Amino acid sequence: MEEKVELLLTITGEDQPGITADICYELSKANADLLDIQQVTISPLLVMALHVGLPVPPGEKTTEPAAFVPGELLRLALRRNLQLRVQPFMPSSGPKSPDLYYAVTCLAPSIRPAALNRISSTLAHYGANIDRITRLTEDSLKCLELTVRASCELDRNALKRALFAVSNEVGVDIAIQPESLYRRSKRLILMDVDSTLIQHEVIDEIARLVGIEGEVARITAQTMAGQLDFKTALRHRVALLKGLKASRLQEVADRLELTPGAETLLGVLKKLGYKTAIVSGGFTFFTDRLKERLGLDYAFANTLEIEDGKLTGQVVGPIVDAAGKRECLLDIAERENIELAQTLAVGDGANDLLMLEAAGLGVAFNAKPVVREAADLSISQPNLDVLLYLIGIRERELAELF
């Protein structure tokens, strides 16, 4: 068997068409083994690293790495004005434990060096090594995806808490999730409605029609913060609406505004074959209209009782609370034959927690503190479409869909 020496070749220079082809051609002529290759470009700079096995000429005694590099490859580098560095390949020593891989997504209006310093230092402190950094946005550095490798001893929960603290410190949303097939193959999104899909708390908007917005808003805030039982709070708030003409609900429906990025998010996911659903502790009068407007597959909410064209101050049927939202997720997944690991849930309030915990990926979107701390991921950006970065979609890929 031909003896070979393993070398690491690092090539840098101006990116040009055909460089990879020419290098591989010369390696092929030299009967080299290509054991690994990585390439990145930051226009116009190219950086390529190759782990190769090169034949040792009979009787060769030198240990100088460059002596084993084919002369044609050296001349190619000169012709192409490339820098070629040659060094021995040094495999890691000792027994190797299985590696775990994570995707760490960083989101901000602009990611500064100081922020990346704190993030990468925290990862290193917990024994996680950055294998690759990829920019997901085109015109500015608003989103980076770090592919991170760690041993099986990594305490992911401790790292998550540490990154959460760093996120608050540097003003960058940081999401860490296992880098796996399931991250890139979600099939269902279930979203909360009030203050998530739309920019309002609907029951507060209805209360304004009858001049009791202060009292209703106070109960709403306490409920979303987890200080009041949702079912009791909902019944109290709905009772205050007794006597309101049902026709006036359309006034509220007409002025509801979607959260920026909502239509892009749902449009992209539908094109990718996702099932799309919303669930609300609010009312079917509004969720049914949102379902039709956005072309959603499912919508769940509470039903206001109406008699003689007026609200009775009661709801009909079971109340959709935290447990109800979770059941909606489980029911849709079972009906559509979707693994829970392939589900994405998004919400902002305490009554979303069970749903977020049950989903394959639970995202707290501009959420209350209790929700941010408990969810898998916490996002504080104004636009919903940034959620697409969490499943690895790049900005330039979005343009291809529209």
Q: How do residues 104-145 score in pLDDT, each as one tens digit?
A: 999 999 999 999 999 999 999 999 999 999 999 988 889 999
User: Quick check: is 322 in a domain?
Assistant: yes
Q: What is the CATH number of the domain that holds 76?
A: 3.30.70.260
Tell me how many domains the chain contains: 3
pLDDT digit string, tens, across residues 214-225: 888 888 778 767
pLDDT digit string, tens, across residues 22-60: 999 999 999 999 999 999 888 899 999 999 999 988 876
Q: Which amino acid is at 161?
A: R
User: Quick check: is 93 in a domain?
Assistant: no
Mean of per-residue pLDDT scores for the chain: 91
Examine the domain organization and report whether 219 and 266 are in the same domain.
Answer: yes
Task: Write down the pLDDT at residue 184.
Answer: 84
Task: Write down the pLDDT at residue 218.
Answer: 85
User: Quick check: is 332 in a domain?
Assistant: yes
- In 3D space, the residue among 230, 239, 236 whose CA is nearest the CA of residue 324 turns out to be 230
Contact call for residues 351 and 325 (beta carbons, < 8 A): yes
Task: Write down the pLDDT at residue 235.
Answer: 92
Examine the domain organization and report whether 364 and 343 are in the same domain.
Answer: yes
194 is catalytic: yes
Task: Write down the pLDDT at residue 125.
Answer: 94
139 is catalytic: no
Q: What is the CATH number of the domain that holds 394?
A: 3.40.50.1000
Examine the domain organization and report whether 121 and 260 are in the same domain.
Answer: no
| Domain termination residue (choose one: 39, 64, 88) | 88
- d(CA 107, CA 380) in angstroms, rounded, equals 9
User: Quick check: is 53 in a domain?
Assistant: yes
pLDDT digit string, tens, across residues 256-292: 999 999 999 999 999 999 999 999 999 999 999 999 9
| Domain termination residue (choose one: 34, 59, 88) | 88
pLDDT digit string, tens, across residues 270-280: 999 999 999 99
Evaluate if residue 80 carries a pLDDT over 70. Answer: yes
User: Quick check: is 68 in a domain?
Assistant: yes
Examine the domain organization and report whether 221 and 172 are in the same domain.
Answer: no
Examine the domain organization and report whether 259 and 290 are in the same domain.
Answer: yes
Cα 102 → chain centroid:
12
User: Quick check: is 370 in a domain?
Assistant: yes
Evaluate if residue 95 carries a pLDDT over 60. Answer: no
| Domain termination residue (choose one: 61, 88, 115) | 88
Examine the domain organization and report whether 325 and 362 are in the same domain.
Answer: yes
Q: Which domain holds residue 41?
A: 4-88
User: Residue for token digits 């959260």?
Assistant: 259
Which residues, 6+ apart, have CB-to-CB distance to 210 below 8 Å?
A: 240, 241, 243, 244
Contact call for residues 9 and 86 (beta carbons, < 8 A): yes
- d(CA 300, CA 291) in angstroms, rounded, equals 10
- d(CA 195, CA 199) in angstroms, rounded, equals 5
Examine the domain organization and report whether 58 and 118 are in the same domain.
Answer: no
Among candidate residues 22, 192, 321, 348, the one labeled active-site is 192
Examine the domain organization and report whether 342 and 369 are in the same domain.
Answer: yes
Evaluate if residue 323 carries a pLDDT over 90. Answer: yes
Task: Write down the pLDDT at residue 253.
Answer: 95
In 294-342, where do the E strands start and end? 298-307, 310-316
Among candidate residues 22, 173, 194, 321, the one labeled active-site is 194
Examine the domain organization and report whether 308 and 276 are in the same domain.
Answer: yes
Task: Write down the pLDDT at residue 182.
Answer: 87
